[in-house]
Amino acid sequence: MVRHSGSKKMIDCRYYQQNECRSCQWLEIPYSQQLTEKQYHLKQQLISI
């Protein structure tokens, strides 16, 4: 569940609040854009190895 607090969205999830998961941040982003961004971040991580 996503709650709005001013301009920020607050996730009402114990996993989110405990920094165990952040997947729900992707819910409002179109899937094709999710893939593009996730691939970019993965490539950046692999380059630094």
Taking only the tens place, the pLDDT of each residue in 14-47 is 898 899 998 888 888 999 999 999 999 999 999 9
Q: What's the domain count of the chain?
A: 1
How is residue 38 written in tokens?
Answer: 């996730």
Question: What number of CA atoms fall less than 13 Å from residue 5's CA on the CB side?
Answer: 7
pTM > 0.85: no
| Domain extent for 8 | 2-47
Q: How far apart are CA 25 and CA 9, in angstroms?
A: 9
DSSP per residue, the chain:
-EEEETTEEEE--HHHHTTS--GGGGTTS-HHHHHHHHHHHHHHHHHT-
Residue type at position 37: E
